[in-house]
Amino acid sequence: MLLTLAIVSVLIGLLAPALGMVRETAHRLACASHQHSLGAAMALFARDNRDRTPRSYFGRSDVRLPQEMMAATIGTMAPVPDNWEGLGWLSVGAGGYVDNNSCFYCSSHRGNHPSERYLSKFRLGQQRVYINYHYSGDVSMATGRPRLIDQPVSHIFLTDGLRTVSDFNHGNGANRLHGDLSVSWKHDVNEVMASMLPTVAMPASTQPDLYQSIWEAILLE
């Protein structure tokens, strides 16, 4: 019996890493599916809004808080009234361009913004609601020009959470929604992207330059 238990323990030890990899692969595919759904929702939103993509208060050239563009609502931030933010305009409570708000959340997320924390509170007038995907915005922070839905494949509309390193859902890479609404996987070979992410909320003055570098790293093949 002891020998049998020892053999079983060894087998479990050998199989556990493989099972973990299979589970993470499944989560990664589900995450890509969510991003496909968000891309389709963005296209519907653009159809109703003269080809414009969802508005981002935090992405405005006079605000420039790219670290907060993982938010779905502005939240209680005096003197600015709460409103939908970025991808939150697609939610069931706003435009209703998605069928279910669960598509805003990735099953690989292990940070402070799991779906259980927000799905029952996905509305305005309370704390800021965060999702697990980071939006690049409807306006170029560099030029101030609006971004329309028809973008080249080299443009990235959204990717996995970038607010802090704990929001980087998969650790070894990230899914990306491109300008043509396709989704691809960016492998973070040496955790370069993860190492660039802040650990806490940053001062407003330091955010634009850092996040420009982060988005450039995500874009690179």
Strand partners, 71: 130
Model pLDDT for residues 155-164, shown as the tens digit of each residue: 999 999 999 9
- The percentage of the chain sitting over the pLDDT mark of 70, rounded to a whole number, equals 88
Residue boundaries of the structural domains of the chain: 26-219
Mean pLDDT across the stretch 150-174? Answer: 93
Spatial distance between the Cα atoms of 132 and 115, rounded to a whole number of angstroms: 8
At residue 168, the pLDDT reads: 93
Is residue 47 scored above 70 in pLDDT? Answer: yes
Mean pLDDT across the stretch 164-191? Answer: 92
Q: pTM score, two decimals?
A: 0.88
pLDDT band, very low/low/confident/very high, at 13 (cuts 50, 70, 90): low
